[in-house]
Chains A and B, each alone.
Chain A
Amino acid sequence: AQKVTQAQTEISVVEKEDVTLDCVYETRDTTYYLFWYKQPPSGELVFLIRRNSFDEQNEISGRYSWNFQKSTSSFNFTITASQVVDSAVYFCALSRTKAAGNKLTFGGGTRVLVKP
Chain B
Amino acid sequence: AAGVIQSPRHLIKEKRETATLKCYPIPRHDTVYWYQQGPGQDPQFLISFYEKMQSDKGSIPDRFSAQQFSDYHSELNMSSLELGDSALYFCASSSDREFDEQYFGPGTRLTVT
Contacts and interface: CB of A to CB of B under 8 A. Distances in A.
A44 B104 contact: yes
A47 B88 contact: no
A44 to B, nearest CB: 5
**Which DSSP category, helix, strand, loop or mixed, fits chain A's interface?**
loop
Contacts, number: 55
A70 to B, nearest CB: 18
B110 to A, nearest CB: 13
Contacts of B99: 33, 50, 52
Interface in A31-49: 33, 35, 37, 43-47
B42 A106 contact: yes
B33 A43 contact: no
Interface of A: 33, 35, 37, 43-47, 50, 52, 91, 97-98, 101-109
Given A43-B88, A104-B45, A108-B41, 16 more contacts: A33-B99, A33-B101, A37-B104, A44-B104, A44-B106, A44-B107, A45-B90, A45-B104, A47-B101, A98-B96, A98-B98, A102-B102, A103-B56, A104-B33, A104-B35, A106-B44
